[in-house]
Amino acid sequence: MARDARKPRKPLALPQWVRKLPVPHRLRGARSSRATAPPGGTPDTPDVPEFPGTLVPGPRPYVRALGLIATTLAGAWLGLLIVGSIDAPVGPMDTKMALRPALTGGTKINVSPLGALELRSHTAPLRLDVDVDQLDQERASALVDHPERLEGLESEITSDVKAGTGDLALRSAVAVVVGAGALGLAVYRRPRRAALAGGLALALLAASGATACATWNPKSVLEPKFSGLLAGAPSVVGNARSIVTEFDIYQRELARLVTNVTKLYEATSTLPAYQPDPSTTRVLHVSDIHLNPAAWQIIKSLVEQYEIDAIIDTGDTMDHGTSAENGFLEPVTDLGAPYVWVRGNHDSDKTQKAFEEMGEEEGSNVHVLDDGVPLNVAGLRLAGWGDPQFTPDRSVKPEGDPRERRDGRRLALALRAQKAAGTPVDIAVAHNPVLAKETDGLVPLALAGHTHQRSNELLPRDTRLMIEGSTGGGGLRAVEKEEPQKVSASVLYLDRDDGGLQAWDEITLGGLGLTTAEVTRHLADEPGSSPSPSPSTTGPGSPSPGPASGSPGPTPAASPGPANSP
C-alpha cells in the first residue's frame, strides 16, 4: 500500500543503548537549528543540534580540590598573620601570643633584647610565638619587695598561660575562618565555595591543635635552644644538675623561666650569676684552634661564666707545628682551669714537648695525654692517644685510617688494662674520630675533633662519641671563605661521683667578624638526646674531606699561609 506523501515521516528510533550513553564533554558554541517549513506547513525534519565549536574537557576534580586547598591555606595564613595574635599578661610581664605556620611546630619565646628561646614543645604544623613586650614595673617591684609572693607565682603563671592560650585558640579559629572565607570569595566569587574554604580552614586548625595536644612534651623546657647574648644563656637555661633532679613538671619550669627573665630585666648593668651545682663537674671541650688567638679569650670567658672545672683540647692547636708557633701557647696557663691536651695531626712532636714543658712548671695545670697513660683531673679519670700522623710533613706519606685504627686498638688495650685493675677510665680522648671509635664499649664517653663539624653519636656498644667543631673557627684560613666558619665549643656536665654524663651545652658563635651566639641544651637521659651522625657534606667554611683518613695535609703552595686540611 503506498505511503501518503502528505503525512510527515516519523523519525527513526535510536537503539536504547545509544540513548543511554553519557555525555562526556561540554559543548562550546552549540546551537539548535530548525529546518525551514513551508508557510502553514510543518517542518520536514525534527530539531537537530549543530556543533560548530570544539569539545572542551571540564576541569578534573583533583585540580579543583588542590586549588581549593591552596586557597584555604593561603587565606588561613593571612588571617593568622593579620588578626591571629593576642596581648596576654604572664606573671609580671606583658606578652603577645600568636600561632604561626611551621613544619616542625614548637614554641619560640622572644625575650628582647636578650634573644630567643626555642622549645620542642609539640610536633604540629603550627608554632606558638610568645613575644615578651615589656616588664610591668609595678608587678615586678611587688615581687621584689614581697618575696613571699614568689610562692604563688607558679599558679599565677599557669593560670595566665591557660587563659592566654584559650583566648588565642578562639582568636585563631576566627582568623583562619575569616581569612580563608574572604580569599575564597575573592577567588571563586561564589559564597558556597567561600564557606567551604572557611570550614576546611577550621577543620585543619582543629586537626593541628589535636596533633599538638597529642605530641605535647611538658619537659621540652629542659632542652631549650637559646639565641642571643651568650652571657645570659646559663641564667636562662638554668643549672643542669638542678634540672635533672628537681624540676620535673612543666609549671615549675615555666615559673623558673619567667622568674629568670624578670631578674634579667631588673639587672640592667650585670646579669645574674650562674650558680653551679657542687655535685656536678663541668668540662669545656674545645678542639682545632689552628692558631686563632681569639680562641683563648673565648675559652677564658666560658671558663669564668660556666665555672669550668677542666678544659679538654682534642688537638690541632697549631697549623704547621713549627717551633716558632710555640709562643702561641703562652695564654694556656692563665685560662683559670686545668688544661688537658692531646696531639692532633697538625701538632708536631715539638708542639707536644712545649706542652709538656709547661706542665712541668711549678703550680702548672697543663697536662698531656698520650700512649693511653691515665690521668686524674677534676675527679675524672682520663686517657688518650696522640694522633699518629703529622700531615704538614710532606716528606712522610700519610697512612690514613689504618694507622688511626692501629693506634686506636692500642688505646683500647690500655683501657682494658685499667678496667681489669679496678681503675676504669671515664673519658677517652683522641683527635681523629677513627681512632676514638676503637674505644667503644670500654668507656662511657669518648671525645674527638678533626672534622671541624660538631656531631654526637652513640656507638654500637653504648659509648657516646662527641666530636667538637673548630673552636678557632678554622683558624686564619677562615678569611679565605665568603662565609666565616663558626666557632664551636661544648660544656659537659658530669656526675662527680661516677663520672656519668648528665647534660651538655652546645655553644656556637659567629665566625670572624660576626657577633652572633647560640646555646643549645641537651640531656643525656632524655629521648632524642642522641643526635644523628655528622653530615656527609661539608658546609661553607668547613674543611673538605680528604683521601684515606680524611686528614690530608696542607696542599703545596708558594705562600706560607695556613693549610687547608682539618
Q: Are 469 and 453 in contact (CB under 8 A)?
A: yes
Q: Considering the domain boundaries, does residue 336 fall inside one?
A: yes
Question: What digits encode the pLDDT tens for the residues 52-91?
Answer: 545 556 567 778 888 888 888 898 888 888 888 888 887 7
% pLDDT > 70, the chain: 65
Position 553 scores a pLDDT of 36
How many domains does the chain fold into? 2
Average pLDDT score over residue span 15-25: 51
- Exposure string (b/e) for 395-414, b if CB count within 10 Å is 16 or more? eeebebbebbbebbebbbeb
Position 267 scores a pLDDT of 38
Position 274 scores a pLDDT of 39
For residues 345 and 446, membership in a common domain is answered with yes
Position 166 scores a pLDDT of 83
For residues 148 and 262, membership in a common domain is answered with no
Based on its alpha-carbon atoms, the radius of gyration of the chain, rounded to whole angstroms, reads 35
204, 230, 256 - which closes a domain: 230
Cis peptide before 113 (omega within 30 of 0): yes
Looking up cell 643525656 gives 524
For residues 209 and 266, membership in a common domain is answered with no
Q: Considering the domain boundaries, does residue 343 fall inside one?
A: yes
Highest mean pLDDT among 151-160, 293-302, 341-350: 341-350
Rounded CA-CA distance 189/187 in Å is 6
205, 230, 255 - which closes a domain: 230
Q: Are 375 and 382 in contact (CB under 8 A)?
A: yes
pTM (2 decimals)? 0.62
For residues 250 and 225, membership in a common domain is answered with no
Partnered with residue 73 across adjacent β-strands are: none
Q: Considering the domain boundaries, does residue 471 fall inside one?
A: yes
Position 266 scores a pLDDT of 44
For residues 225 and 277, membership in a common domain is answered with no
DSSP H or E segment with residue 295: helix 294-306
Average pLDDT score over residue span 543-563: 34
Q: Is the dihedral of CA 70, 71, 73, 74 positive or negative?
A: positive
Asked if residue 544 has pLDDT above 60, the reply is: no
Question: What digits encode the pLDDT tens for the residues 119-145?
Answer: 888 888 888 888 877 666 666 666 556
Q: Considering the domain boundaries, does residue 89 fall inside one?
A: yes
Average pLDDT score over residue span 508-532: 64
For residues 138 and 257, membership in a common domain is answered with no
pLDDT band at residue 334 using 50, 70 and 90 as cut-offs: very high
Rounded CA-CA distance 454/65 in Å is 45
For residues 181 and 317, membership in a common domain is answered with no
Cis peptide before 444 (omega within 30 of 0): no
% pLDDT > 90, the chain: 30
pLDDT band at residue 339 using 50, 70 and 90 as cut-offs: very high
Position 554 scores a pLDDT of 33
Asked if residue 446 has pLDDT above 90, the reply is: yes
Rounded CA-CA distance 278/311 in Å is 18
Q: Beta strands 93-101 and 55-56: pairing type?
A: unpaired
Q: What is the number of alpha carbons within 13 Å of residue 271 lying toward its C-beta?
A: 15
Average pLDDT over the chain reads 75
Average pLDDT score over residue span 530-559: 35
- Distance in Å from the first CA to the final CA of the chain: 111
Rounded CA-CA distance 225/261 in Å is 15
Q: Considering the domain boundaries, does residue 543 fall inside one?
A: no
Q: How many CB atoms lie within 10 A of CB 196?
A: 18
Tell me the CATH number at 351. Answer: 3.60.21.10
Question: What digits encode the pLDDT tens for the residues 169-205?
Answer: 888 889 889 988 899 888 888 888 889 988 998 898 8
For residues 355 and 431, membership in a common domain is answered with yes
Query: Comparing 386 with 33, which gets the higher pLDDT?
Result: 386
Average pLDDT score over residue span 298-316: 91
For residues 420 and 275, membership in a common domain is answered with yes
pLDDT band at residue 550 using 50, 70 and 90 as cut-offs: very low
CB neighbour class for 364 (10 Å; exposed up to 12, middle 13-18, buried from 19):
middle
Length of the chain: 566
pLDDT band at residue 309 using 50, 70 and 90 as cut-offs: very high
Asked if residue 398 has pLDDT above 70, the reply is: yes
Q: Are 157 and 254 in contact (CB under 8 A)?
A: yes
DSSP H or E segment with residue 434: helix 433-436
Q: What is the DSSP string of 62-109?
A: HHHHHHHHHHHHHHHHHHHHHH-EEEEEETTEEEEEEEEE-SS--EEE
Position 423 scores a pLDDT of 95
For residues 287 and 404, membership in a common domain is answered with yes
Q: How many CB atoms lie within 10 A of CB 522?
A: 21
What is Dmax (Cα atoms) for the chain? 141
Region for 10 from its dihedrals, namely left if φ exceeds 0, alpha if ψ lies in -120 to 50, beta otherwise: beta
For residues 451 and 496, membership in a common domain is answered with yes
For residues 203 and 318, membership in a common domain is answered with no
Q: Which domain holds residue 108?
A: 63-230
pLDDT band at residue 30 using 50, 70 and 90 as cut-offs: very low
Residue 534 CA, distance from chain mean position? 13
Position 155 scores a pLDDT of 66
Average pLDDT score over residue span 6-28: 54
Q: Considering the domain boundaries, does residue 540 fall inside one?
A: no
pLDDT band at residue 151 using 50, 70 and 90 as cut-offs: low
Helices (H) and strands (E) in the chain, counts: 12, 23
Q: Considering the domain boundaries, does residue 373 fall inside one?
A: yes
Q: Considering the domain boundaries, does residue 8 fall inside one?
A: no
Highest mean pLDDT among 244-258, 370-384, 484-498: 370-384
